[in-house]
Amino acid sequence: MLGATLGLGLALLALYLVRAIRTYYSLSHFGGHWVAGWSRLWLLRTQGSGEMNKRFTEVNRKYGEFPIGEGVETKSTIFRFAVWVSPTPRSASLTLVHRADETQAPRLGLRRPCLSHPMAELFRRMSAVRSPFTRGRWYTALKLHPDRDNITSYVDEHKHAAIRTRMAPGYSGKENVHLEADVDEQLLKFLDLVSSKYVAQPEQDIFRTVDLSQVTSYFTLDVISKVAFGQTFGFLDNDEDPFGYLANLAQMLPAIIVFGVYTELTNIMKLPAVKAALPKSSDKRGLGRVMGFARDRVQERFGPKAIRRQDMLDEFIKRGLTQEELESETLTQITAGSDSTASALRMTLHFISTSPPILERLLAEARAGIEAGKISRPIIQDVEARQLPYLQACIKEGLRIYPPVTGLMAKMVPEGGAMIDVDGVEKFAPGRTQIGWNSWGMMHDPVVFGADAEIYRPERWLVRDESEKERGRVARMNETVTLCFGYGRFGCLGRGVATMELNKAVVETLLRFNLQSCNLAKPFNEKVVGFYVHTDMDFVVTERSSGDQSALVRLEGDKVDAGALAGAYEE
Ligand code: HEM
């Protein structure tokens, strides 16, 4: 008996080794850290480092570089996850030519020679509507419910396409007549909260600070609950996390990291003991409480006394989503739509408020718009914001320098494999290879964004002259930054809502308040886990108008005691 067990064990080990070696060599030509070729531990370490964005970018810079443009080097990443043995991430730079799809996807450069960057081109090709690439197993980690998938977690193409078709109209905003008014209402509450509770008045010895990381999350969470269900969670009303949701999310980070690498572990959610420990809608706090809130709001739309409101939920119901589907999808809406927009908002505010020339230029544009009657008060309308070039440049630059989603979003090479062009050499990526996305690397690429790509500089988005070269430069940047919302059949459905929030909140906040970071040497703490967990982002806030007045200095008389530094001019 012992002998048979030992024999079986050795046979399994041999099988594992053969597969591991085959997997390793099938992708060894892409280069990368050797550990990543054998196990996912490298990936786990990188994702758990809290700075996955920077580490992936370092890897891309180290391995598989290929010269492009004017001798500048650029990079991308490929991760290999084997069919069933331990996945083996690899890295390499690449452009993509896919054999099976050659008729639809001509070789890079032939169709749009100057606009496409190889990394962006690859990303688009994989996500395009008729692409044979599919979602990788990475997406299964986005399942929030033990039994139910949601739009972000379906790896089955047909199921994903079916739910997306039914949900897209609800997101489009055309049917959601309350959308803009709902966003305005929450923004006014946000501004009111800052004004009533956080404005410092040092001249009256009132010293206060606000944690921007917190209040921006409160704003986007209340917006999303209002536009999704017609009722807010009450973050802004209470100036706190009423359900303990954000705290619960922070506790779940280790699990998020591990599940994002060992995606098969999502199956343990089906085990009765694990299932019992998972958040559920009857919970009093945390994600479970949010699930309960979503369940109650959905329930109100059904039955004899059903509430009717022309909004997203109503549109989803009209498109035939069941009560169960709605509970799961609305929860996804909250997780997908709150943190991403909040980080875009807070980082954009941070960069503008810490760069006086940028702030001044933005304020000048906004004030001119108000004076000309082109900006509604008290809140700018979305259509008006889209007419302000410098505001748009500031927002795009914010999304670029801190792309809100840094998760791998791995797409899978179809059966039969794909040819991938590395350094001008075509290399074969076997079927089921998963190709991860390094959004940070893509958005910080000097080839696309210029040699100062690491710097927040909205001016790069403004066309300097009418030459074809200049228009091509800006068009290429626009094509790339838009990818931070994904693309094609996987692209973000909430993009319109997010853009509306940013269009309004950035300019209205800065028009009212002067923001000063409390600690420029370390303005915030950050953990990057596919999204950003920011804490301690403390700012001093003063009313902009009073700040402006106090800056007016009157120099009266010939001799002024300006209080110059003592000692420097003394004998
Ligand atoms: C600045 C803010 C946002 C960014 C950068 C962003 C980015 C993304 C990205 C990268 C994806 C996945 C693309 C892929 O799988 O390849 C995605 C998907 C999605 N986003 Fe957003 N998002 C934002 C805001 C929102 C908001 C406000 C909502 C809801 C109102 C939302 C709802 C969704 C949904 C439902 C999906 C899944 C689409 C699908 O699977 O077909 N997002 N988003």
CA of 30 to the centre of ligand 1 (A): 30
Backbone φ, ψ for residue 44 (5° rounding): -60, -45
More confident residue, 304 or 571: 304
Q: Going by CA atoms, what residue is nearest to atom 20 of ligand 1?
A: 492
Of 177-181, 218-222, 466-470, the one with minimum mean pLDDT is 177-181
Per residue in 418-433, pLDDT (tens digit) is 876 655 667 788 888 8
Give the contacts of 14 (CB within 8 A, at least 6 positions apart): none
More confident residue, 563 or 378: 378
CA-to-CA distance for 551 and 63, rounded, in angstroms? Answer: 52
Determine the 3-state secondary structure of 500 from DSSP: helix
More confident residue, 555 or 246: 246
Mutate which of 144, 409, 485 for ligand 1? The one with the most ligand atoms within 8 Å of its CB, which is 485
CA of 492 to the centre of ligand 1 (A): 3
Q: Is 152 in the pocket of ligand 1 (CB under 6 A)?
A: yes
Position 562 pLDDT exceeds 50: yes
Mutate which of 171, 186, 224, 340 for ligand 1? The one with the most ligand atoms within 8 Å of its CB, which is 340
Average pLDDT estimate for 327-344 = 90
CA-to-CA distance for 191 and 193, rounded, in angstroms? Answer: 5
* C-alpha closest to that of 133 among 97, 94, 88, 83: 97
Mutate which of 329, 481, 489, 492 for ligand 1? The one with the most ligand atoms within 8 Å of its CB, which is 492
CA of 409 to the centre of ligand 1 (A): 11
Amino acid at 21: I
* C-alpha closest to that of 476 among 149, 124, 52: 124
Give the nearest ligand 1 atom to 497 CA.
Answer: 27
Position 333 pLDDT exceeds 90: no
More confident residue, 49 or 437: 49
CA of 446 to the centre of ligand 1 (A): 26
Using pLDDT thresholds of 50, 70 and 90, give the confidence band for residue 63: low
Q: Is 485 in the pocket of ligand 1 (CB under 6 A)?
A: yes
Q: Which residues are annotated as a binding site?
A: 492
Most trustworthy range by pLDDT among 187-191, 203-207, 327-331, 441-445: 187-191
Q: Is 507 in the pocket of ligand 1 (CB under 6 A)?
A: no
Could you tell me the CA-to-CA distances from 151 to 142, 162, 348 in Å, in that order?
9, 9, 28
Q: Is 220 in the pocket of ligand 1 (CB under 6 A)?
A: no
Percentage above 70 pLDDT, the chain? 86
CA of 556 to the centre of ligand 1 (A): 58
pLDDT at 430: 84
Can the peptide bond before residue 378 be classed as cis, meaning omega within 30 degrees of 0? yes
Give the nearest ligand 1 atom to 499 CA.
Answer: 1
pLDDT at 93: 30
Determine the 3-state secondary structure of 206 from DSSP: strand
Using pLDDT thresholds of 50, 70 and 90, give the confidence band for residue 401: very high
Q: Is 40 exposed, middle or buried (0-12, 13-18, 19+ CB in 10 A)?
A: buried
Determine the 3-state secondary structure of 271 from DSSP: coil
Q: Going by CA atoms, what residue is nearest to atom 39 of ligand 1?
A: 490
Of 116-120, 180-184, 356-360, the one with minimum mean pLDDT is 116-120
What totals of helices (H) and strands (E) does the chain contain, helices first? 22, 13
More confident residue, 82 or 550: 550
Determine the 3-state secondary structure of 453 from DSSP: coil
Average pLDDT estimate for 92-101 = 30
Decide: 359 and 510 in contact? Cβ < 8 Å.
yes
Most trustworthy range by pLDDT among 30-44, 89-103, 428-442, 547-561: 428-442
Q: Is 170 in the pocket of ligand 1 (CB under 6 A)?
A: no
CA of 337 to the centre of ligand 1 (A): 7
Q: Is 490 in the pocket of ligand 1 (CB under 6 A)?
A: yes
Position 565 pLDDT exceeds 50: yes
The domain defined by 2-197+209-511 folds into Cytochrome p450 (1.10.630)
CA of 297 to the centre of ligand 1 (A): 22
pLDDT at 380: 98
Per residue in 505-548, pLDDT (tens digit) is 999 999 999 999 999 999 999 999 999 999 999 999 999 974 45
What ipTM does the predicted assembly reach? 0.99
* C-alpha closest to that of 261 among 437, 24, 42, 528: 42
Q: What is the DSSP letter of 197?
A: I
Per residue in 105-162, pLDDT (tens digit) is 222 222 222 334 566 778 888 899 999 999 988 898 888 777 788 999 999 999 999 9
Per residue in 312-329, pLDDT (tens digit) is 898 999 999 999 899 888
Q: Is 338 in the pocket of ligand 1 (CB under 6 A)?
A: no
Q: Going by CA atoms, what residue is nearest to atom 41 of ligand 1?
A: 490
Please list the helix, strand and coil fractions of the chain in percent, rounded to the nearest 5, in that order. Answer: 55, 10, 35
Determine the 3-state secondary structure of 510 from DSSP: helix
Domain locations along the chain: 2-197+209-511
Position 434 pLDDT exceeds 50: yes
Considering the chain, what is the average pLDDT of its residues?
83
Angle, helix 157-172 to helix 495-512, in steps of 10 degrees: 40
Q: Going by CA atoms, what residue is nearest to atom 13 of ligand 1?
A: 486
Per residue in 241-297, pLDDT (tens digit) is 999 999 888 888 888 888 888 888 888 877 888 888 888 888 999 888 988 998 999
Position 471 pLDDT exceeds 90: yes
